[in-house]
Structure 1
Amino acid sequence: MANLKWVISIAALALSACASVPEPTPMPDDPYYAPVMPEEQVEPAVPNGSLFRGQNVNGLYSDIKARDLGDIITVRLQEQTTASKSASTGISRNSNVDLPTPTLFGRDVTVAGNPLSAQLNGGTDFNGDSSADQSNQLTGDITVAVIRVLPNGNLIVRGEKWLTLNNGQEYVRLTGIIRPQDVTSDNSIASNRVANARIEYSGTGSLANAQREGWLTRFFNGPIWPF
């Protein structure tokens, strides 16, 4: 029995060690979220005697919307989700079996004067109810950079914003694909128009750590705990 307790303890420690592997702590200036700098293209000077330079000319109908590699665009975070789900299940089953008294030569068979009849009754009932409600809201602005221009003209954008507070740091990260047609005249776009959006809002420091469960609590609340 003592050996069995040791085996269970060692197995629990091994599983908890697997569950306690810490995730990488987000840090500012992550190279993955760094903006892509476009290569500078120098137009060869042509001695034509004019001060006009074609590469610095804006068209009559040009605007300030992002469209090229390295351009920046402001994303208006307008995320709000609400989910509600409920389920109810009921199962009932009843069984009855009657065994009449057997007869022999027209007479009931008895044992010590007692009839041999029997009756079996059985029933099962199951009732289950479940409900779940969840709501999230995120508002604000984040300015991201164009890291790639797709052949169809869509833009892949990515960026992050860090805020340093007294007891830690908070950050917002965003990646996704946008259409230049959805960009407004002030070079901004709503987050609900960003395709394949990945929006991450979290923080680091003592406040963020206080809101996280310890590794032992995560083990007991995890899917591998059998009870």
Structure 2
Amino acid sequence: MRALSLPLALLLAAPLIACAGVSEAAKGPQLSPVSYPAALASPAQLPPAGPQPPAASANSLWQVGSRTFFKDPRAGKVGDILTVMISIDDSARTQNTTATSRTAGMKAGIPHLFGLETALGRFLPGAFDPASSIETNSTTSSQGAGAVTRAEKINLTVAVIVTNVLPNGNLVIQGTQEVRTNNEVRQLTVTGIVRPEDISAANTINHTQIAEARISYGGRGDVSRVQKTPPGQSLVEKYSPF
């Protein structure tokens, strides 16, 4: 029964997947719903709600709605928001050229073989000469050239959420940003680990100060679909033995 449940579920889900694909082709890609990262999905991970501050008097230095007065306002606990400044301007160029050539030749004979060299002529063609019975020649050559030129330039800013605080005080961050233009959705995802000391007074941090950084910038929609290699062609190119 269990063996049939998975194929049956896939069969029932196929029309839904097809409808979703047709809807996206007709209406364009839709934005993902706004939600906290997976690490904050559990209520146990969310910071507890504290008591409401009392209203300040008219002549008080404290303003109602202010988060801190003497405390550092930078992100430091689960649920806080931090701004990541992404400025990538990388370029690389690699060029390789290889050329090999080899010529080999061999000539051998058996003028004396226990006195049987004359008897061999009875079984071999008439032009058989024991003194030069084997001769080979081979010539091989190979040439190869390859070049890689890469240039990346990205300047973006994204707000992320602190999803965890490690025992040593470092912060685990995660954030996603989606922008839709016409029928194309551009998605930016940033995850990694930062030190509280690297966060500036403006509550920002550069992407170069993020350890184990995972930065993904891509999209989905009409342009991405046209530029993407078809799945069948990708499989043929990946597993072709030639």
TM-score bucket of the superposed structures, by smaller chain: 0.5 to 0.7
1: distance between equivalents of 2:233 and 2:78?
Answer: 46
Please list, as runs of the form range in 1=range in 2, the aligned pairs for 1:77-88 lying within 5 A after superposition: 77-88=86-97
* Cα 1:125–1:199 shift into 2, 3 Å: same
What are structure 1's unaligned runs of at least 5 residues? 1-24, 46-50, 104-108
Cα offset, 1:37, TM superposition: 3.9
Pair 1:133 & 2:149 matched: yes
By percentage of residues, which structure has more helix?
2
What corresponds to 2:105 in structure 1? Answer: 96
Pair 1:224 & 2:224 matched: no
* 2:173–2:194 Cα contact (<8 Å) kept: yes
Q: TM-score, structure 2 length as denominator?
A: 0.62
Letter in 2 for 1:226: P
CA deviation string 1:152-181 (max 9, x = no partner): 111011111111222232221111111111
Q: TM-score, structure 1 length as denominator?
A: 0.66
Cα offset, 1:124, TM superposition: 2.2
Letter in 2 for 1:41: G
CA deviation string 1:8-49 (max 9, x = no partner): xxxxxxxxxxxxxxxxx9834355468664211349x9xxxx
* Cα 1:34–1:202 shift into 2, 3 Å: farther
RMSD: 3.8
* Cα 1:116–1:134 shift into 2, 3 Å: same
1: distance between equivalents of 2:195 and 2:224?
Answer: 35
Letter in 1 for 2:73: I
1: distance between equivalents of 2:226 and 2:37?
Answer: 28
Moved more, 115-124 or 71-80: 115-124
Alignment counterpart, residue 29 of structure 1, candidates 13, 26, 34: 34
* Cα 1:117–1:179 shift into 2, 3 Å: same
Cα offset, 1:94, TM superposition: 2.5
* 2:47–2:78 Cα contact (<8 Å) kept: yes
By percentage of residues, which structure has more strand?
1
Cα offset, 1:77, TM superposition: 0.6
1: distance between equivalents of 2:232 and 2:163?
Answer: 41
Letter in 1 for 2:32: M
> What is the number of residues matched between the two proteins?
190
1: distance between equivalents of 2:32 and 2:68?
Answer: 40
What corresponds to 2:189 in structure 1? Answer: 173
2: distance between equivalents of 1:69 and 1:133?
Answer: 41
Pair 1:147 & 2:147 matched: no
1: distance between equivalents of 2:46 and 2:111?
Answer: 97
* Cα 1:100–1:165 shift into 2, 3 Å: closer
